[in-house]
Amino acid sequence: MNAIAYHLDPLHGLAGLTVREQEVPVPGPNQVVIKVRAASVNRRDLMLMDGIYPLPATPDIVPLSDGVGEVIAVGDNVTRAALGDRVTATYFVRFVSGPQRLAHVAEQYGANYNGMLATYAVLEEDSVVHVPDHLTDIEAATLTCAGVVAWAALTKPAPVGPGETVLTVGTGTVALFAVQYAKILGARVISITSGPDKAERLHKLGADETVDRSETPDWDEKVLELTDGHGVEHVVEAVGLPTLSKSVRSAGYNAMITMIGASQLPKGQPLENPFVGPYLAIRRIAVGSRDDFEAMNRTITEHRVRPVIDRTFPLDQAVEAYRYFRDDNPFGKVVITMP
């Protein structure tokens, strides 16, 4: 089969995703070329498609930040990867370590650098990350965005630990990774979800308690009850403004609320003042660095973590994969596999 790449023409919905033949790329200095084996879809890929992501997609870009492949060519000066290595890439093309700067977030695979929805991808050497050996290609293709942001939320500026309670909101892939990592870090986990099936799967993943928001719309009160009135120490707020007020009311004194979710309030609905309860911190974070990614991978390896996969699609059904991810409320990652 010939090599192919999908290209995104933003603001045209799924019709903006078209496929073309792809030449085998030649790496420049400090670049590697991978033959992609699998890639996965994130919420940001829909936002890029719809033109509501903070960084506009370059028209005609190859989408998707998350993927895994085998190195098939290396450019001059490359020392961080060799032919045959199984690698992925960081979300930001050049965010290696230390505090995040605005310049880091301005360069992203699948937005303004060609991403993973193709037979071949060109990666800057600085962004290359080797993936844990025990993961299948499908699993290893899911770590870059949701995996790393959940890890950064729970380990920066200081890791959560025993004696602390982490609240996760929703069952998107960020929250699912967060449940797994919080348990490994020794914390108790309370998870908010929307039904008994998802609650059962959260328990299997490690959640200690779940609260069904369809049965208990005032779930913040239940979280307070479960924490003897103290509130939780950490919130992984993986929905956004619609749930922020309840997250604040679920939190205890000096808690850390990490805002990851980008959902906005319905038009005309004002945001409740979040600064009325206990003294606490609310911060927004954007994924993480290569150092974060590699630290996460060491933990994934040590604890044999397996990302939750909902469904896979072959490359020639990539548009269907996007549609399924957008419309069918998956529990876990939606992955596209390459022939």
Distance, CA of 235 to CA of 252 (rounded, Å): 10
Name which of 64 and 146 has its Cβ closer to ligand NAP.
Answer: 146
Per-residue tokens: 33: 């070329």
32 binds ligand NAP (CB under 6 A): no
243 binds ligand NAP (CB under 6 A): yes
104 binds ligand NAP (CB under 6 A): no
267 contact partners, CB below 8 Å, separation of at least 6: none
44 binds ligand NAP (CB under 6 A): yes
Phi (first) and psi of residue 300, to 5 degrees: -60, -40
5 binds ligand NAP (CB under 6 A): no
Name which of 40 and 297 has its Cβ closer to ligand NAP.
Answer: 40
Map the footprint of ligand NAP across residues 154-213, applying CB under 6 A: 170-175, 193-194, 198, 213
Task: Compute the least distance from the CB of residue 307 to ligand NAP, in Å.
Answer: 12
Helices (H), ranges, 69-186: 102-105, 137-140, 148-155, 173-184
Dihedral sign computed on CA atoms, order 295, 298, 304, 308: positive
Task: Compute the least distance from the CB of residue 262 to ligand NAP, in Å.
Answer: 4
User: Cβ-count burial of 126 within 10 angstroms (0-12 exposed, 13-18 middle, 19+ buried)?
Assistant: middle
* Region from 7-15, 23-31, 70-78, 282-290 binding ligand NAP, contact rule CB under 6 A: 282-290
Please give the residue whose beta carbon sits closest to ligand NAP in the complex: 172
Name which of 32 and 129 has its Cβ closer to ligand NAP.
Answer: 129
Cα–Cα separations (whole angstroms), residue 276 to 112, 245, 248, 253 = 40, 10, 9, 12
* Closest to 177 (Cα-Cα) out of 75, 91, 255, 293: 293
Residues 22, 40, 42, 337: which binds ligand NAP (CB under 6 A)? 42
Name which of 19 and 262 has its Cβ closer to ligand NAP.
Answer: 262
216 binds ligand NAP (CB under 6 A): no
CA 82 to chain centre: 27
Residues that bind ligand NAP (CB under 6 A): 42-44, 145-146, 149, 170-175, 193-194, 198, 213, 238-240, 242-243, 260-263, 285-287, 329
